[in-house]
């Protein structure tokens, strides 16, 4: 089912009404008697120099993301709203709801061709009216079939989804300097359901200058592709081999946070993730190419390993100079699929006047390719055990340039937002390839713009 503009507009109107209602109520309070509310902040040069800890409050936080990829590819609207209750004894309880709507076109994994390419989903065996089994396309008129013009990147134009998610969490002090956090999440899409539970234990040491933590997360996913589970490395359009598959993800994070000076805080995390089950993208294909002409001939469904192990080390630093704060981070990652990546991010919190801030930031990411990544397969080669042409498993880099900002518009209301430009870069042409492949653009990475707007209201 495609989202209509009217439905999106209606959803946004409802959300906007929800966001603005508390602001209207508190605007009067802010303009009428602000003395009590601003007595403490008046001492701080900027609103964001005020203390973050607010025991005995209920905080409502809502935000909306607009995401658009270039060339009319994926468009997403994601809204989330949450409540956090900060109790005076140091415990916190939170609940958050998220809604995503995605439309547009996403690369299907096949390479560009000099002729029209036709793509079709797996066929499902379904019961016809007379009880006979038949391909679902033959019994109904549902399709999922599309064609791509010569020279164009093959994209699945039927891509659309909606996601509803809820997350709850609680943090309670269990002893002096020791806090226990527990939480869980549930997320549902047309073709995917995820449930997760998590727990973290954090201990403060050395006059609260050091915090060590250990957390565990377990996620249980069900994948139900629209047209069933494709026959991995089988021919495009062949019969599906099932309706759903499972995936389990285990994740452990060991964290260490250290105050180096009264103005400098650093964080070091080690994360290990282990997942088993269905990792294959059921919508991705891989082209079979004729070695002499270099033209794609047909497509197969991709296949990924049953298991994946991930390791990452994250380092973060926050350094204050007056009311300015420099935020720097780095992440090193590798996994059992042969992918290694590095990520660096840098941003600067710039106070403006008494109530505003701006935060320009830059992020750079680079990854190597998975050991089973192939842009295509040759017709005359033996079919490998695993193969995927998903560009997210290829070697590429990405830049993000962004600007965040926020303002404290009343004693209990903050508005915030961000605008970001993200673009991937990587190999476009390999001149050593045979025939037309040498002049075929192999790149299918994305470029996007995202804009976020949010409001946070604190009830005391």
Partner 1 sequence: MLGAALSLGGCAHMGAEPWQRDVLARKSMQLAREPAILSFDEHTYFSKEAASGGRSFDGGGCGCN
Strand partners, 318: 265, 327
Q: How far is the CB of 95 from partner 1 (least distance, A)?
A: 13
Structure tokens at 399: 């830049």
With contacts defined by CB under 8 A, name the span among 19-27, 125-133, 193-201, 430-438 that binds partner 1. 193-201
What is the nearest approach in angstroms of partner 1 to the Cβ of residue 432?
Answer: 25
Answer for which of 2, 31, 53, 88 binds partner 1 (CB under 8 A) is 53
Q: Which of 9, 34, 39, 50 binds partner 1 (CB under 8 A)?
A: 50
Q: Who contacts 129 (Cβ-Cβ below 8 Å, separation ≥6)?
A: 139
Least separation, in Å, of the C-beta of 61 and partner 1? 6
Gap between the Cα atoms of 17 and 31, Å rounded = 21
* The pair of three-digit structure tokens given for residue 184, joined into one six-digit string: 């869980």
* CB closer to partner 1, 122 vs 351: 351
Phi and psi at 20, nearest 5°, equal: -80, -25
- C-alpha span between 29 and 164 (Å, rounded): 34
Q: Which residues pair with 271 in a beta bridge?
A: 253, 312
Q: Please state the φ and ψ torsions of residue 24, each to the nearest 5 degrees.
A: -65, -40
Q: How near is the Cβ of 262 to partner 1 at its closest, in Å? A: 4
When asked if residue 196 is in the footprint of partner 1 (CB under 8 A), the reply is yes
Q: Is 301 or 437 the residue whose CB approaches partner 1 more closely?
A: 301
Residues 97-156 close enough to bind partner 1 by CB under 8 A? 100
Nearer to partner 1, 50 or 430 (CB): 50
Residues 358-417 that bind partner 1 (CB under 8 A): 365, 367, 370, 392-393, 398, 404, 406, 416
CB 426 within 8 A of CB 446: no
Q: Of 3, 87, 126, 163, which lies in the binding site for partner 1, with binding defined by CB under 8 A?
A: 163
Nearer to partner 1, 238 or 343 (CB): 343
Tally Cβ neighbours within 10 Å of residue 402.
18
Distance CA 86, CA 59 (A): 8
On whether the CB atoms of residues 51 and 89 are closer than 8 A, the answer is no
Residues 85, 61: contact at Cβ < 8 Å?
Answer: no
Under 8 Å between Cβ of 136 and 162: no
Q: Which stretch binds partner 1 (CB under 8 A): 16-24, 141-149, 216-224, 375-383?
A: 216-224
Q: Of 29, 49, 235, 290, which one interacts with partner 1 (CB under 8 A)?
A: 49
Stretch that binds partner 1, among 125-133, 148-156, 204-212, 435-443 (CB under 8 A): 204-212
Q: Whole-angstrom Cα distance, residue 374 to residue 372?
A: 6
Count other C-beta atoms under 10 Å from residue 292's C-beta. Answer: 10
Give one DSSP letter per residue of 380-437, joined into a string: TSPPPSSBB--GGGSSEEEEEEEEEEEEEEETTEEEEEEEEEEEEEE----TTSSGGG
Residues 222-261, mask of contacts with partner 1 (x by CB under 8 A): -x-------------------------x-x-xx-xxxxxx
* Touching partner 1, residues 421-460 (CB under 8 A): 422, 424, 446, 448, 450, 452, 454
Residue (234 or 397) nearer to partner 1, CB:
397
Q: Which of 26, 48, 75, 294 binds partner 1 (CB under 8 A)?
A: 48
* Binding to partner 1 in span 307-366, by CB under 8 A: 310, 312-314, 316, 318, 320, 323, 325, 327, 329, 331, 333, 335, 337, 339, 341, 343, 349, 351, 357, 365
Output the smallest distance, CB 320 to partner 1, in A: 5
Tell me which stretch binds partner 1 (CB under 8 A): 6-14, 145-153, 305-313, 375-383.
305-313
Cα separation, 152 vs 114, in Å, equals 9
Of residues 103, 108, 124, 271, which one binds partner 1 by CB under 8 A? 271
Q: Of 161, 235, 290, 295, which one interacts with partner 1 (CB under 8 A)?
A: 161
Tell me which of 73, 75, 77, 78 binds partner 1, using CB under 8 A.
78
* Distances in whole angstroms, Cα of residue 377 to Cα of each of 230, 297, 299, 384: 18, 10, 9, 9
Task: Output the six-digit token pair for 147.
Answer: 């064609």
Q: How far apart are CA 2 and CA 238, in angstroms?
A: 26
User: Which of 285/393 has CB closer to partner 1?
Assistant: 393
Number of residues this chain uses to bind partner 1 (CB under 8 A):
99
């Amino acid at each position: 089912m495609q989202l209509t503009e009217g439905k999106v507009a209606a959803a946004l109107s409802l959300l906007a009404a929800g966001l603005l209602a508390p602001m209207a109520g508190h605007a009067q309070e802010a303009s009428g008697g602000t003395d009590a509310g601003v007595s403490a902040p008046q001492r701080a040069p900027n609103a964001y120099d005020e203390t973050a800890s607010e025991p005995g409050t209920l905080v409502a936080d809502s935000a909306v993301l607009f995401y658009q990829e270039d060339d009319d590819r994926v468009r997403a609207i994601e809204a989330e709203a949450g409540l956090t209750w900060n109790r005076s004894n140091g415990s916190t309880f939170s609940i958050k709801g998220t809604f995503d709507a995605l439309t547009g076109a996403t690369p299907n994994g096949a390479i560009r061709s000099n002729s029209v390419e036709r793509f079709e989903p797996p066929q499902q065996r379904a019961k016809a009216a007379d009880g006979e089994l038949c391909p679902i396309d033959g019994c109904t008129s549902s399709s999922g079939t599309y064609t791509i013009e010569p020279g164009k990147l093959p994209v699945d134009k039927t891509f659309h989804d909606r996601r509803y998610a809820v997350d709850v969490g609680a943090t309670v002090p269990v002893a002096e300097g020791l806090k226990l956090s527990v939480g869980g999440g549930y997320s549902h899409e047309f073709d995917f359901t995820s449930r997760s539970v998590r727990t973290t234990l954090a201990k403060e040491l050395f006059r609260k200058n050091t915090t060590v933590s250990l957390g565990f997360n377990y996620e249980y996913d069900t994948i139900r592709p629209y047209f069933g589970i494709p026959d991995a490395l089988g021919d495009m359009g062949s019969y599906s081999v099932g309706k759903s598959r499972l995936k389990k993800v285990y994740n452990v994070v060991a964290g260490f946070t250290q105050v180096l000076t009264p103005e400098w805080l650093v964080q070091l995390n080690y994360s290990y993730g282990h997942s088993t089950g269905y990792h294959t993208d059921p919508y991705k294909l891989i082209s079979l190419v004729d070695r002499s002409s270099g033209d794609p001939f047909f497509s197969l469904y991709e296949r990924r390993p049953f298991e994946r192990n991930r390791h990452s080390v994250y380092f973060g630093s926050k350094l204050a100079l007056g009311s300015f704060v420099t935020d720097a981070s780095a992440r090193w990652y590798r996994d059992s699929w042969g992918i290694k990546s590095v990520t660096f991010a840098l941003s600067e919190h710039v106070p403006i006047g008494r109530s505003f801030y701006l935060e320009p930031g830059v992020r750079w990411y680079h990854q190597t390719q998975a050991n089973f990544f192939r842009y295509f397969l040759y017709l005359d080669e033996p079919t490998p055990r695993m193969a995927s042409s998903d560009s997210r498993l290829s070697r590429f880099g990405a830049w993000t340039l962004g600007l965040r900002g926020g303002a404290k518009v009343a004693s209990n209301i903050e508005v915030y937002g961000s605008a970001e430009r993200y673009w991937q870069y990587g190999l476009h042409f390999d001149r050593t390839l045979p025939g037309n492949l040498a002049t075929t653009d192999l790149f299918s990475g994305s470029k996007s713009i995202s804009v976020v707007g949010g409001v946070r209201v604190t009830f005391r």
